[in-house]
Amino acid sequence: MLSVVIDIAAKLVSGIGDIFNTLGDIVEFVASIVQGIIDWFLELKYQLIGDPIVIDLVDGIIAVFQGFIDSALEVFSGFVEWFVGIFQTIYNNVSVVLENIRLFFENTWLLIQTKAYEVWTYIQTFLAEIWNLIYMKVVEIWTIIHTWLMEKWNAILLLCQTV
Domain boundaries, the chain: 2-115
Do the Cβ atoms of 57 and 45 come closer than 8 Å? no
Q: Assess whether pLDDT exceeds 70 at residue 145.
A: yes
108 vs 101: CA distance, rounded Å: 10
Please state the rounded mean pLDDT for residues 108-131.
Answer: 93
Q: What is the DSSP code string of 67-79?
A: HHHHHHHHHHHHH
Looking at per-residue pLDDT, the higher value among 12 and 57 belongs to 57
Q: Assess whether pLDDT exceeds 60 at residue 50.
A: no
Q: What share of the chain is helix, strand, coil (3-state, %, to 5)?
A: 95, 0, 5
Whole-number pLDDT of residue 9: 62
Whole-number pLDDT of residue 35: 81
117 vs 135: CA distance, rounded Å: 27
Among the residue ranges 47-61, 117-131, 137-151, the one predicted with the least confidence is 47-61
Whole-number pLDDT of residue 151: 92
What pTM was computed for the model? Answer: 0.41
Looking at per-residue pLDDT, the higher value among 49 and 115 belongs to 115
